Amino acid sequence: MLDTANPQRSAEWEANEELELTTKTLQALFDNRIPAIRIRGFATPRECASVIDAIHDVGMQHVYRFKTADGEELSDKQTGYIGLTHYNYRHLPKGDYLAKVPEAYAYRNRIFERTFDAVERMIERVRAVSENDVAVAEEPDGSGVLYAGIIRDASTGASLHADFAPYTARGLCVGRITAQIGWNAWFDHPHAGGATTVHNSPWTPQFEGDEIPEQYPLDHTLVEGAENYTYRPTPGDAILFNTRNPHEIAAAAPGDAHSRLQVGAFIGRMPSGGMVMWS
Amino acid, single-letter form, for residue 64: Y
Instruction: Give the range of the structural domain holding residue 162, as residue numbers without chain letter.
Output: 17-205+212-278
Residue 170: inside a domain: yes
Q: Which pLDDT score, from 0 to 100, does residue 16 have? A: 96
Pairing, β 275-278 against β 134-136: parallel
Q: What is the dihedral of CA 203, 149, 103, 156, to 10 degrees?
A: 70
Residue 7: inside a domain: no
Q: Which pLDDT score, from 0 to 100, does residue 5 have? A: 38
Residue 231: inside a domain: yes
Residue 135: inside a domain: yes
Q: Which pLDDT score, from 0 to 100, does residue 208 have? A: 86
Residues near 237 by beta carbon (within 8 Å), at least 6 away in sequence? 38, 39, 40, 41, 42, 185, 186
Q: Is the dihedral of CA 22, 181, 232, 205 positive or negative?
A: negative
Could you list the mean pLDDT of each consecutive 10-residue stretch along the chain, which spans 279 residues?
Answer: 46 96 98 98 98 95 67 67 93 95 98 98 98 96 97 91 95 97 96 95 92 91 97 96 97 88 97 97
Residue 127: inside a domain: yes
Can you list the alpha helix ranges (DSSP code H) found in the chain?
23-30, 45-58, 94-112, 118-129, 165-168
Residue 146: inside a domain: yes
Q: Which pLDDT score, from 0 to 100, does residue 6 have? A: 40
Residue 10: inside a domain: no
176: domain CATH number is 2.60.120.620
pTM of the model: 0.92
Domain tally, the chain:
1
Amino acid, single-letter form, for residue 267: I
Nearest CA-CA partner of 213 in 202, 203, 226: 203
Q: Which pLDDT score, from 0 to 100, does residue 4 have? A: 39
Residue 226: inside a domain: yes
